[in-house]
Amino acid sequence: MRHSPIKNSLFTKNRERLRARLKPNSVAFVNANDLPPANADAVKRMHPNSDLFYLSGIEQEESILMIAPDAVQPALREVLFVREPNPHLKIWEGEKHSKETATKLSGIKEIKWLSELPAIRHQIMCQSEHVYLNSNEHPRAVVDVQSREARFGRELQEAYPIHRYERLAPFMHALREIKSEAEVNLIRQACAVTRDGFLRVLDKTRPGITEYEIEAEFAHEFTRNRCQFAYNPIVASGADSCVLHYLENQKTCRKGDVLLLDVGACYGNYNADMTRTIPVSGKFTRRQKQVYQAVLRVLRAMIAASTVGKSHPDWQQEAELMMNDECLALGLITKAQIKRETPERRACRKYFMHGLGHSLGLDVHDVTTSDAKFADGWVITVEPGIYIPEENFGVRLENNILITEDGPVDLMADIPIEPDEIQSIMAAAKMRS
C-alpha cells in the first residue's frame, strides 16, 4: 500500500450497500487477483481486485471476503480470510497483514487465516441457499486466462452442485457506478497529481527531447506523490499522435510536431485519465491551432451536456453531430458526405472514430450497468479528438467530470488546456532555461 490510509468507513458502507441487495439465506465470495507470472520463476506485482478493494480496502494476495448476512452465528456474517504471517514470508516478502491490521484497513472484525477457510465455508454453505460468485463481466473484457475467481467458483460448484448460484457482478456494477464523496476525493487526488506531472512536462518539452524522457517526467512526479500510472502512458509525437493506443514512446520529438499525451495517475487504486496535445516547439502552427480549438469546443460543449438522465448513446450522437460541423469548417468533410451519412456512421467518424468517453473509478474503463443513464455521482471522461493522418498530426483533449444534480463538475478544471495558456507556460519555461 503506497497511498495514505483510507478511512475504513468507505468499505464498511460499501459492504452494507451490497448486503441490502443479496437474497435471503445467501453467501457471497470475492477473491483477490492472482499474482501475474512473468518468465522463469518471476512474478509481477499484483494489481488489486477492484471489487475486493471496493468492499474491504484489502490489496494483499490470496485474500478472500465472505459475506453471509443471515449466517446463524453473527460472527460469521462478514469474514475476511488472509494469509497467516510467518517468519519465512517476512524474510522473503516482507510483512503480511496481521488480524489487527486487516481489521483496521477493512473495518471487518472477524479475520481468519486462509487455513480456516474450508471448515468455515462448509458451515456457511450448509446454511445458505443462494451463492453469489464474482466474475469479470466488463463488456470489453477478453478473458483468455482463468482467474482466481473462476477457479474458486468451479471448485465450489463441484463440491456443492445443487446450490443456487448467482452472479455478483451485476450488483457490483450498479454499486460502483455511483461514487461516494470519499471516492470522488480519491479521484480528485489522482487528478491533482496528474496536473503536477503535466506542468512538469510543459516545463521540460523542447525539440530533441524523447518520448520516453517525457514519460520519465510523469513517472518522477507520480512516484514522489505516492501514485503510479493508471494505465500504460501514451506519449505520441508527430504522425503517431493519430495512433489511438500508441505505446512505443521511443521517438525524438521534432520541431513543428504536436505531442499527444494520454496519461493519468492512480492514487489509492482510483484513477485519473487526462489527454492533452501540446506543440513540441512551444507554439502551435496556424492549422494545428485551428484543429485544437475545434476539439476544445466539442469538449466544452460535451462537458456541459454531461447531465443527469442523459444516455451514453444520445451523448455520443450529440458529439458526432457537433463534430460534423467542426470537420466541415476545417475542410475535412463535405456537405455531400454529411447528406449520405447514417446515424450509425456519421461523416466525422473518418477523423473522430472512437467513443466520446467512459466511466472512471477503480478501473480506468470503470464498470456500469448496461442500460444505465448518467446519474448523480457518476465520474466520466470526456475525450473528443480529430486525427488527420494525411497532415501527420492529431489532437485529443480529455477531462474527468463528476455528474451531479446541479450540473457537471470538471475535476480537471485547473489543468491548463487553452492553447494560449499552454503556449505561455512553455514560453516562460524557455525563458528560465
The domain that holds 38 is classified in CATH as: 3.40.350.10
Residues 126 and 237 in one domain: no
Residues 193 and 309 in one domain: yes
Any idea of the CA torsion for 52, 54, 55, 59, to the nearest 10 degrees?
Answer: 50
Residues 210 and 137 in one domain: no
Other beta carbons within 10 Å of 253: 23
The reply to whether 349 falls in a domain is yes
Please state the separation of Cα 348 from the chain's center in Å: 27
Task: Tell me the pLDDT band of 55, cut-offs 50, 70 and 90.
Answer: very high
Residue 194: left (phi > 0), alpha (psi -120 to 50), or beta?
Answer: alpha
Residues 132 and 219 in one domain: no
Residues 163 and 185 in one domain: no
Strand locations in 305-392 (E): 379-382, 385-388
Q: From 176, 201, 236, give the residue that closes a domain.
A: 176
Other beta carbons within 10 Å of 118: 10
Mean pLDDT of the region 426-432: 93
Structure confidence by residue, pLDDT tens digits, 347-356:
999 999 999 9
Q: From 160, 176, 192, give the residue that closes a domain.
A: 176
Q: From 176, 203, 220, give the residue that closes a domain.
A: 176
Residues 187 and 172 in one domain: no
The reply to whether 215 falls in a domain is yes
pLDDT of 2 reads 85
Residues 305 and 358 in one domain: yes
Contact 3, 268 (CB under 8 A): yes
Residues 160 and 188 in one domain: no
List 409's β-bridge partners, or say none.
Answer: 402
Question: CATH number, domain at 336?
Answer: 3.90.230.10
Contact 34, 62 (CB under 8 A): no
**Cell numbers describing residue 76:** 460469521
Q: Mean pLDDT, the chain, as a whole number?
A: 97
**Cell numbers describing residue 159:** 463440491
pLDDT above 80 (res 405): yes
Residues 146 and 87 in one domain: yes
Kindly give, in sequence order, each residue whose CB lies less than 8 Å from that of residue 409, ignoring residues fewer than 6 positions away: 401, 402, 403
Q: What is the largest CA-CA distance in the chain?
A: 74
The DSSP bridge pattern shows strands 270-271 and 385-388 to be unpaired
Contact 135, 171 (CB under 8 A): no
Which structural domain range is residue 277 located in? 181-432
Contact 364, 271 (CB under 8 A): yes
Residues 371 and 400 in one domain: yes
**Cell numbers describing residue 299:** 469538449
Residues 168 and 187 in one domain: no
Sign of the four-CA dihedral 118, 123, 126, 130: negative
Residues 95 and 203 in one domain: no
Task: Tell me the pLDDT band of 371, cut-offs 50, 70 and 90.
Answer: confident
Structure confidence by residue, pLDDT tens digits, 246-273:
999 999 999 999 999 999 999 999 999 9
Distance CA 277, CA 280 (A): 9
pLDDT of 203 reads 97
Flag whether the pTM goes above 0.95.
Answer: yes
The reply to whether 38 falls in a domain is yes
pLDDT of 144 reads 86
Q: Is 246 helix (H, G, I), strand (E, B) or coil?
A: coil
Q: Is 229 helix (H, G, I), strand (E, B) or coil?
A: strand
Domain count, the chain: 2
